[in-house]
Chains A and B, each alone.
Chain A
Amino acid sequence: MRAPAAGDQAAREILLSMENVSLSFGGVNAISDVSFDIRKGEICAIIGPNGAGKTSMLNVINGFYTPRQGRITFKGVARAKMRPYEAAERGIARTFQNVALFRGMSALDNIMAGRTLKMKRGLLWQMLRYGPAMAEEVEHRRVAEEIIDFLHIKDIRKVQVGRLPYGLQKRVELGRALAMEPELLLLDEPMAGMNLEEKEDMSRFVLDVNQHFGTTIALIEHDMGVVMDLSDRVVVLDHGVKIADGTPDEVKSDRNVIDAYLGVAH
């Protein structure tokens, strides 16, 4: 459990607000009437048993899925429908459960791809590598190198990511998301399939990102130890329904949560 950050929970500004969101595929309800807020600067964990709708929830937030009903307000602007690249433009970055990297590209190029939206100079100037466009490229490269330093992946920056071990791929993917300088970072099982040491490294990075850059983080994670250590707040989903929402301590002792995880005696 982290020491409470400066300012009371309730006093923090709401960054993202989900109100009565429902999502269904054909007749199957993936998410039913879920509401919760993510506040600026916090680390919010979304947990729940398999098939609870956690990944669907992230997909709704960054625009991969359009909810059947409900309202999503990000940075004070409500929207019915948002395309993924619009979400990216407005400051939402994410990683994926089964690492989605540009496998044919180097780690550095993957991270540079995260800067796509920040590049503004004309294509013609970029082709000519001329003046301002060149300066811009150099500046983006500098940011990318900073991220590489931050994640301690200097030695693999020129390696094609398809060749990297899984743990490092996850790190590169985090780097690519960070390169977008997001306000809200969505991490889908950042520690899945990692050993203890890798998990500790990744936890460290997540905390550092949160503290140094002030990035708000929403993460899905199965490792309860990690969740309880990292998060300020935990939202629990089960079968697409929200069953609890509170601090790690509150959630840990919640009857519904225990039932959902351990099963109820009928």
Chain B
Amino acid sequence: MDLLYKIFLEPFVQMGTAPDLLVQTLWEGMVGGMLYALIALGFVLIFKASGVFNFAQGIMVVFAALTLIGLHAQGIPAFVALALTIAVMFALAWSVERIVLRPLVNQPDIILFMATFGITYFLIGFGELVFGGDPKTMITEELFLPKGSWDIKMLGGFVSLQKIDVAAAIIASIMVAVLSVFFSKTRIGRALRAVADSHKAALSVGISLEQIWVIVWFAAGLVALVTGIMWGARSNVSFALEIIALKALPVLILGGFTSIPGAIVGGLIIGVGEKLGEFYWGPLVGGGTDSWFAFVIALIFLMFRPQGLFGEKIIERV
């Protein structure tokens, strides 16, 4: 009885008695979830266009952030360094298409998936060679990202909002809006959906697979850069960040592999669920829930909606 009380009642009693704490937890969950959503977004872009699960998305985040910091360390002004980093991400997208994807066209998906492992290890090795393996600090001030926090008095307590988190939320929303307009309103967007559905039909109407792939990998690279800046501003930039890519998996399972809104909503659900789980139920199992709780959430959703929240239901005529 005692255990049941602790699982099903006590957390909610806590939430009710300290609503400010609940709001704080929800906010932190949202912020964390937003970053998961950004990573998942990078995956979705590439998966939509080529059906490839890009394992390298995590390392692309690290690589983009390190390039930015590295360039700035050479004495290049922050915003010039930012522009150069964008150019580097474009060069990366172009090289991936030219060196990895093009020779492997028409190969089974699993081969392309393995190739993204290759890209991952190449970027780790190349990155350590160029930038060194030690953790670095993101150049937040130079990029005019705000510091400090707002303490808002509410519900009989304080809720503290980090300014950087608010900025991250705004920037992420703008980026998502621009990307969704780009992919829904332009001819490239229509071409992207076309490529996702059928390669040969897309080719036959004059869509160039090469061009589409460069564009989506570049878009994924930009998303990685923004993710890298935001994540780097909260902690350090190091190669350990690469494993956050794994955090995108439950988000993708939840949101569906092909849906941009799915990545956002999935990210937020996972982020909030994780924080709530950690704060209110974590003590029951002695803490440390953040490494696995997200997967449990995804698993539960998976039982009821195998195609994810927003995933396309696969219809097969027989």
Residues of chain A whose beta carbon lies under 8 Å from any beta carbon of chain B: 62, 64, 83-85, 88-89, 93-94, 96, 100-105, 109, 112-114, 116-117, 119, 123, 126-127, 129, 162-163, 166, 176-177, 179-180
Contacts and interface: CB of A to CB of B under 8 A. Distances in A.
A127 B315 contact: no
Contacts of A179: 205
Contacts of B191: 113, 116
Contact of B182 (A62, A102, A123): A123
Contact of B204 (A94, A119, A129): A94
Contacts of B196: 104
B203 interface: yes
A127 B181 contact: yes
Contacts of B193: 102, 104-105, 109
Given A104-B312, A127-B185, A84 B203 contact: yes
Contacts of B197: 101-105
A96 B186 CA distance: 26
B175 interface: no
B207 interface: yes
Nearest to A101: B201
Contact of A96 (B182, B188, B194, B200): B200
Interface of B: 178, 181-182, 185-188, 190-191, 193-194, 196-198, 200-208, 312, 315, 317
Contact of B205 (A103, A116, A126): A116
Contacts of B181: 127
Contact of B315 (A84, A94, A163): A163
B158 to A, nearest CB: 41
A188 to B, nearest CB: 10
A114 B187 CA distance: 11
In the A-B complex, the 3 residue pairs with the smallest Cβ-Cβ separation, listed nearest first, are: A88-B206, A100-B201, A84-B203
Contacts of A85: 203, 206-208
B277 to A, nearest CB: 34
A149 to B, nearest CB: 20
Contact of A123 (B188, B202, B208): B188
Contact of B206 (A100, A103, A123, A180): A180
Contacts of B200: 64, 96, 100
A100 B198 contact: yes
A139 B315 CA distance: 33
Given A100-B201, A105-B197, A129 B185 contact: yes
Contacts of B182: 123, 127
Given A127-B182, A163-B315, A117 B205 contact: yes
